[in-house]
Amino acid sequence: MNEENTSKYDSLVFPGLTLERKEDHLLLAFPSEVDGLSSAVYGGGMIRLTRAVNLFVNQDYECSDPVRDMENKLREWGYPAAGCAGLMTAVPLELAAIAEEDIGSAAIFCCVTSAAGNAARAGVVRPVLKAYRAGTINIMLGIDGQLSPAAMVNAAMTAVEAKAAALADLGIVDTENGLTATGTPTDAIVLGVSQSRRYRAEHVYAGTATDLGGAIGRLVYGAVTTSLQSMQARKDG
């Protein structure tokens, strides 16, 4: 979603799904209410979703109450709080990466904003953050298809695995120990599933050995890679 492109993107595979780049946020709007699963700082958990927002904040943003800040922004934008998941990013919004694929039994849309300045590795001892930080990797996924609750969790797992694989292949390390990074301390994911009856079969698995999981992995891997490379190119000037 670079500066030459329009600020609104209509999904080519998920009918009615749109992504708009506003002045200070990305707005992912679903055509109707969907089943949501999210680790978003605002509106996280298992909820019914109509939209997800990715708010741009400065790199030095460090607030003890990001939920309040997001609530204030939603009021400012005129978006209903209900059915909304809110993320925060310090990545310039035009560097968001989009990828999508139709596999026949489902269609997957992916949008990623990535920064790895505070890359970290899971499984090692490290300082605990006292407040939210926005240098992060945010993944927004929209799936037009039918998924069981377990498959939704599986889809999120596959997306996170793909993110970690992208970081490893790019050689990104945890600056505190030099080990391969698996993410950042504040990464987040939003998944929305239409549960559309026009798809006959319900997916009950979404691991890497399934058609659905394979597509999710490819899309997330590619989008994370593209976004991180764009961010690095911007820094290199």
Identify each DSSP E strand in 132-207 by its residue range. Answer: 132-133, 137-144, 146-147, 188-193, 202-203
| Domain layout of the chain by residue ranges | 8-236
Report which residue type is found at 178: G
Report which residue type is found at 120: A
The CATH class, in words, for 8-236 is: alpha beta
Q: What letter would DSSP give residue 123? A: T
* 132 pLDDT higher than 80: no
The tokens of 226 are what? 């593209």
CA dist 170 and 181 (Å) reads 10
Higher pLDDT, 60 or 226: 226
Do the bridges between strand 84-89 and strand 45-56 make them parallel or antiparallel, or are there none, so unpaired?
A: parallel
Percent helix, strand, coil in the chain (nearest 5)? 25, 35, 40
The tokens of 148 are what? 């069981």
CB atoms within 10 A of CB 74: 20
Question: Model confidence over 73-95: pLDDT tens digits?
Answer: 999 999 999 999 999 999 999 99
Identify each DSSP E strand in the chain by its residue range. Answer: 8-10, 18-21, 25-38, 45-56, 62-63, 84-89, 97-102, 107-114, 132-133, 137-144, 146-147, 188-193, 202-203
Place 99 in a pLDDT band, splitting at 50, 70 and 90: very high
pLDDT computed for residue 5 by the predictor: 44
Question: Model confidence over 140-198: pLDDT tens digits?
Answer: 999 999 999 999 999 999 999 999 999 999 999 998 999 999 999 999 999 999 999 99
